[in-house]
Amino acid sequence: MSREKIKVPGKVYEELVALQREIHFTQDHQDTIKKAQDRGYMNAANWIRQNENAYKIGFAWGFEPSGDEPQGTLRDIPKRDSPAPKRTISRPTPPQTKKAQKSPGTGGIFASIKNWFSKHF
């Protein structure tokens, strides 16, 4: 007998991989079935229940998806819709006041003090 990975249906493979990430597999297949059912991996739980010997071999040598069923990939996730355009409110520009119309060289407290000194001294 060669050491080939056990081929399982695509959905079962996905759930076995997810289960393997969440728990450490044990040789006690009843415990693994219970943990798979608790996490909602019903396809994996049913497959392990029906294929106890194949599970034990696959536990040691690994699993791979069979070619007859498509394996789920990230491409199966639908593409994200483009974001909705942002709605903006156009606001009129406020009228400029005298302060805003001042030239930049004449403003400030030091300029006022300088002007006061030049007028009075």
Residue 102: inside a domain? no
Domain that holds residue 19: 6-76
- Per the model's pLDDT, the better-predicted residue between 82 and 102 turns out to be 82
pLDDT tens digit string along 9-40?
888 888 888 888 887 766 777 888 888 888 88
Q: Which long-range contacts (CB under 8 A, 24 or more apart) does 44-49 make?
A: 44/12, 44/15, 44/16, 44/19, 47/8, 47/9, 47/12, 47/16
Residue 21: inside a domain? yes
Residue 22: inside a domain? yes
Please count the structural domains in the chain: 1
Residue 17: inside a domain? yes
Residue 70: inside a domain? yes
- Per the model's pLDDT, the better-predicted residue between 120 and 87 turns out to be 120
